[in-house]
Chain A
Amino acid sequence: VYRLHGRYHEMAPNVVPMDYTKDPDVKLPMQLIINMPELKENPFRERIVESFSEDGEGSLSFNDFVDMFSVLSEMAPRELKAIYAFKIYDFNTDNFICKSDLEKTLNKLTREELTAEEITLVCEKVIEEADMDGDGKLGFADFENMISKAPDFLRYCFKKK
């Protein structure tokens, strides 16, 4: 935790106090966080920061900061990772991953290299594969069901050096 505090402090030394015993109310804006080397290349960095931020706008207090890195670490349990993964991919924060969320995810993943036709095909296939309750979008139950069967999920997602 001390290391994290050091990193947090590094990003804005004027704002972040060294002494946290009085529980001050300090938040760092999103722009600073997404430029951290761990997140810089990540296509989902804005979503990651937004989902951990308490006020929903992307500013992280130190507590949020710690939360973020603890979920991203290897020690976090699988269910917790699934919950936050769902939040990250849910772009319009309606607690469902609908078709437009899927389209945005796909565009971020492929840096918009696919044609519109291909994108539609992929999104349709995803909903076809994972939607169990037939409402045309993925609820958390559908998402968790699909993720729990994925062999690579624990290995490649959400690990921190």
Chain B
Amino acid sequence: SFSREAQLFVEKFEGALGKGKGKKFYAYKVMMTKKWMKFQRDFENFKTACIPWEMKIKEIESHFGSSVASYFIFLRWMYGINMILFGLTFGLVMVPEALMGKPYGSLPRKTVPRAEEASAMNFATLWDFSGFAQYSVLFYGYYNNQRTIGWLKFRMPLSYFLVGVGTIGYSFMIVIRTMARNANEEGGGDDTSFNFSWKMFTSWDYLIGNPETADNKFASITTSFKEAIVEEQESRKEENIHLTRFLRVLANFLALCTLAGSGYLIFFVVRRSQKFALEGLENYGWWERNEVPLRWQLGRIFALFLGNLYTFIIALMDEINLKASYLLPFMIFSMHLEEEKIVKYNMTIWEASLYNGTIPENSTAPPIQVDPADVPRGPCWETMVGQEFVRLTVSDTMTTYITILIGDFLRAVFVRFFNYCWCWDLEYGFPSYSEFDISGNVLGLIFNQGMIWMGSFYAPCLPAINVFRLHTSMYLQCWAVMCCNVPQERVFKASRSNNFYMAMLLFILFLSTLPAVYTIVSIPPSFDCGPFSGKTRMFEVISETLEHDFPSWFGKVFGYASNPGLILPFILLMV
């Protein structure tokens, strides 16, 4: 038998090695090799356990298949991106301003106006991100346009600008890089001969000794077989090409119709609100009064718009969210121009009234101490836009969570406990347990990220809010999937749809960064708030930095290098 052969072999070997010292050294070498292999295996296990949520995702994969698991892997990847965005905005924008900028109450833009002071601390106001939340580092309007702040001479406006541009650049880079990596992997993974044979003979892990792990392993093997079977069946089916083509065209056409319809609805609402704005202005012919009535009118318009907006959101959630948030900056900005003119006029009148006519116009006078809360404010459209985005994100999050709790959890509880006293079998008929809606969830995630990208320039707090949202979402959805959902009837493999979702993400990224880029390049910043106030264009902060902080020759070189002819090819090369 084998062991007798082995014994002879060992004896021969021993003889060859000689006695004593040789034998010990060999035994030592064998022991070290064994220890090294064990260490390598343990380290691999440790590395896998360190990846956040890896165990959870593996468990979900074994019960629900690779496509459901791929949603969670996508969620985790998004979480990583948002962490980096959060790090940038928090570390380079919010913290320096909080630590080294002028404190709350020192400047008009940093103080709650007198009129709003009474309600500034209410929970309702804070939940709506007005009051104290609005006049803080969370939003664009709080930041001062001082070129350097603190003893470190931290260049705040420059930092704000670079962080804004940097987040856009980083997001592009990482999405494109992941797409390229996916494309590479897919090319190699298609060559699977012996697919079924390997699944049958090599999938069991002989090291498993724990019954729970064994359960998971059985489930994952079964799911893996089911996926392969479905793939095989699909490839065997004879396809009616014409029918599928017709169905595809029909689906696209219907989708376009809904998009056009919702676009028209939004356009209609905007027109209606603009009409209200014009009516409102006509009713107040005297600008010398304080701007509170004007503000009230604008508030009414916003309320109307928001009311409509929220109705639309519930009706056609994903698409409307994105399009509405896309139109928002432009809508708010058009009203802003009107308001700015009014306020500037107002302020000259107000300053004159302060001096009460005691000092003739053209002489200089000692500045009168006025409490910052009493100074009339210029409109700050960037903060308003930021607030809208934050509100949209929060409401979207709430809607998702409540949908999960009601749609999945309550439904499961109802089916489970009322099954005994109901006429028909609840579990097999209506409503039964819900399946996990992969595409809906992924699209929701993509559109949510689009909103974050669009809004983070105006509200540095958005990435932080999103990190919190994704973190809780991961736990909530993992729990909901394992507890309330059933696996789909047919389990599909995740590979081909991955790059489709990536392409969609890239498209949304491009769309969402357009408004921010447009703002930076062509719209003048508000004169009374934010780090760029007083400049004609936001990107002037760069030329200003070059003038003051770099030696003159550098400025000339940069002037030549910033020729668009050079920059465009450079960017294209990078991509």
Contacts and interface: CB of A to CB of B under 8 A. Distances in A.
A156 B198 contact: no
Interface string B207-228: 1111101100010011001101
A41 B208 contact: yes
Given A153-B201, A159-B207, 19 more contacts: A41-B209, A41-B211, A42-B204, A42-B208, A63-B3, A74-B34, A102-B200, A105-B201, A106-B200, A109-B203, A109-B222, A110-B222, A118-B225, A122-B200, A146-B201, A150-B201, A156-B206, A160-B206, A160-B207
A2 B47 CA distance: 34
A125 B3 contact: no
B229 A121 contact: yes
B200 A126 contact: yes
B560 interface: no
B200 A67 contact: no
Given A41-B211, A110-B221, A152 B202 contact: yes
Main secondary structure of the interface of A (DSSP, over half): helix
Contacts of B6: 70
Interface string B23-42: 00000000000100110000
A156 B204 contact: yes
Contact of B232 (A106, A111, A113, A121): A121
Interface of B: 1-4, 6, 34, 37-38, 193-198, 200-211, 213-214, 218, 221-222, 225-226, 228-229, 232-233
4 interchain residue pairs of minimum CB distance: A41-B214, A125-B196, A110-B222, A130-B197
Contacts of A125: 195-196, 232
A126 B196 contact: yes
Contacts of A130: 194, 197
26 contacts: A38-B209, A40-B209, A41-B211, A67-B1, A70-B3, A89-B201, A109-B203, A109-B222, A109-B225, A110-B218, A110-B222, A111-B222, A114-B222, A122-B228, A125-B196, A126-B196, A126-B197, A129-B193, A129-B194, A129-B196, A147-B201, A149-B194, A150-B202, A152-B202, A153-B202, A158-B206
Given A41-B209, A44-B204, A67 B2 contact: yes
Interface in A39-91: 40-44, 54, 63-64, 66-67, 70, 72, 74, 85, 89
Contacts, number: 112
Interface of A: 37-38, 40-44, 54, 63-64, 66-67, 70, 72, 74, 85, 89, 102, 105-106, 109-111, 113-114, 118, 121-122, 125-126, 129-130, 143, 146-147, 149-150, 152-153, 156-161
Nearest to A156: B205
A72 B205 CA distance: 12
A126 B228 CA distance: 12
Nearest to B2: A67
Which of the listed residues B1, B195, B200 has the most CB atoms from chain A within 10 Å of its own CB? B200
B198 A72 contact: no
Nearest to A84: B2
Given A63-B1, A67-B2, A74-B37, A109 B200 contact: yes
Nearest to A158: B206
B194 A41 contact: no
B3 A66 contact: yes
A44 B217 CA distance: 14
A11 B4 CA distance: 24
A161 B42 CA distance: 11
Contacts of A118: 225-226, 229
Contacts of B200: 102, 105-106, 109, 122, 126
A43 B202 CA distance: 13
Contacts of B3: 63, 66-67, 70
Given A63-B1, A109-B203, A153-B202, A37 B209 contact: yes
Nearest to B4: A63
B493 to A, nearest CB: 16
